[in-house]
Structure 1
């Protein structure tokens, strides 16, 4: 059975006019239930992560400043969110959802987090709507438990996974792959193990061609026994923070290819949602919902 991390706190209310669409998480949950793609049995409510698990990626000083709400004004501006105890609790629970999802993925081939994909979080600071790096923390937990020898990060969000690159830059047991818009944030890119920066205006044909010739080769070369997939839908032409021109159909084919490749290779995959900022919330929901539809079709 497909297991998906979801908690009501994911929809934590931001001040009116904030550009991050928190409502998409609740609406996506409702949509998947309404159309019958999922039932309530597919969803689980994560708890809170241990401090030890957070410390495997983030510094003691950063974790304490978040939890005590003592970040400086400039540090809060970097986050992009107004800092609050509720927001910090939310980020903890999102992280635990990814951690718990890894166990489900090992048992069932795949697990998903309706939020997460916070790939701009660094060890000592957060930025761009990312406080804790959920997938990196989960990867460290898998390593600690001795459940994996080699991990592959597949980041197909329109923005480079800069935090991911830095966190694992000295860890040969983790291979970081990011395919992103060359002209998109972050404007100073970090160095992943493999970066493919596609130019502004890149659409379905080029994006999918690059992906389809790269991912199978990486799996053959790296021989991972676990994959973290960040399935951001901000590659869409309609996305107000992206610069690519992919269609809903192209985004769906991307997910189909990644998940089919993981399944056929017998590699467990944990999927976090990443970004999506199209002006029409219905576009965001449809693009995200397609990822779940593909998961159900391919795995179950």
Structure 2
């Protein structure tokens, strides 16, 4: 198992946004302390070349990010004031997801401590996302002809609207999203398969929906690789999630995805996605369970 982590994941972020972004430091630290991983499992990605970014994002948008000329309204849509450091952070995260995908193709699974920036569109960012790491990595694999069919399983509580829009007319990438029906983004894009979840949904109902969906997805898509967004904002403790999934239920969700993929010998690249519980330990513990499940099953 390989894990992408770079110190830039948690630095620098604008004042007022350090929590819950501190999780990017705490996740690898906790995994190391508990003996789940060693330093040999961790690698630091390098910045992504511009030509790879341009396989997914428009040249005009990339120029705005590079030259720091995003209009104020676009910065508000993203939620961060622009800075060179934030752009650098995003291109490192994207390279980390590409590296995870390449490792997964050979060894089964790899996880990015950050990533899951699924609200970024080809020509704009939003929802704390500047570049779409799953889209960048998927398009890179297709461009290099390393795979023919990709499945994106997005289980963050917020719909991956940017991802859905980017791959709207691409039959080689199937987008699947289980997300809060009344949660951000309030204007949803159309994924290949969307399952909207009602506020207050409990663990058993959530897991049954996923159990029913996964075999159908595998049979329909027959993916060469899966990109899995394992957001922990489905937790009942989350400030914005509006669901009632327990920590054990969140762990079972990850185990269900990983067991299904392992059974069908499908490699998996994982990104952590969102998590906004008031106590950072709840966020970090839930994310760490994702790594533990991956280590145990793969």
Q: How many residues align?
A: 298
Distance 1:291 1:28, change over 3 A: same
8 Å contact from structure 1 (residues 13, 22) kept in 2: no
Structure 2 Cα separation of the partners of residues 167 and 76 of structure 1:
20
Residue 102 of structure 2 is matched in structure 1 by 103
Question: Runs of 4 or more off by more than 4 Å in structure 1?
Answer: none
Aligned residue for 1:171? 170
- CA distance, structure 2, for counterparts of residue 20 and residue 198 of structure 1: 27
| 2:63 equivalent to 1:36 | no
Q: Where in structure 2 are there 5+ consecutive unaligned residues? A: none
Matched residue, 2:208: 209
Q: Could you say which residue in structure 2 is the equivalent of 1:24? A: 23
Return the offset for 1:17: 2.7
1:193-250 per-residue CA deviation (whole Å, 9 max, x = no partner) reads: 0000010001111110000000111101111111100000000011112111101000
SS class of match (1:270): strand
How far did 1:18 drift?
2.8
Q: Is the 8 A contact 1:111 1:270 kept in 2?
A: yes
Match of 2:115 in 1: 116
How does 1:10-159 map onto structure 2 within 5 Å? 10-18=9-17, 20-159=19-158
Find the aligned partners of 2:127 and 2:21 in 1 and give their Cα distance: 14
Find the residue that maps to 1:229 and give its secondary structure: strand
CA distance in 2, matches of 1:172, 1:145: 17
Tell me the distance in 1 between the aligned counterparts of 2:70 and 2:15.
Answer: 23
1:182 and 1:199 in contact (8 A); partners too: yes
* 1:76 Cα deviation after fit: 0.5
Deviations 1:151-204 (A, max 9, x none): 111000000010111000101111110000101100010000000001000111
Calculate the aligned-residue CA RMSD, in Å. 0.9
Counterpart check, 1:267 vs 2:266: yes
Q: Distance in 1 between matches of 2:56 and 2:138?
A: 10
* 1:202-281 superposed matches below 5 A: 202-281=201-280
The answer as to whether partners of 2:111 and 2:271 remain within 8 angstroms in 1 is: yes
Match of 2:189 in 1: 190
What does residue 285 of structure 1 align with? 284
Q: Distance in 1 between matches of 2:161 and 2:200?
A: 22
For the residues of structure 1 that align with 2:137 and 2:67, how far apart are their CA atoms?
23
Q: Post-superposition shift, 1:20?
A: 5.0
- Extract unaligned runs of 5+ from structure 1: none
Quote how far apart the aligned CAs of 1:19 are. Answer: 6.8
Displacement of 1:15 = 3.6
SS at the partner of 2:200?
coil
Scaled by the length of structure 1, what TM-score is found?
0.98
Contact 2:155 2:178 in 1 (8 A): yes
1:7 counterpart residue number = 6
Indicate conservation of the 8 Å contact 1:117/1:273, yes or no: yes
Are 1:5 and 1:112, in contact at CA under 8 Å, matched by a contact in 2? yes
- How far apart, CA to CA, are the structure 2 residues paired with 1:209 and 1:30? 33
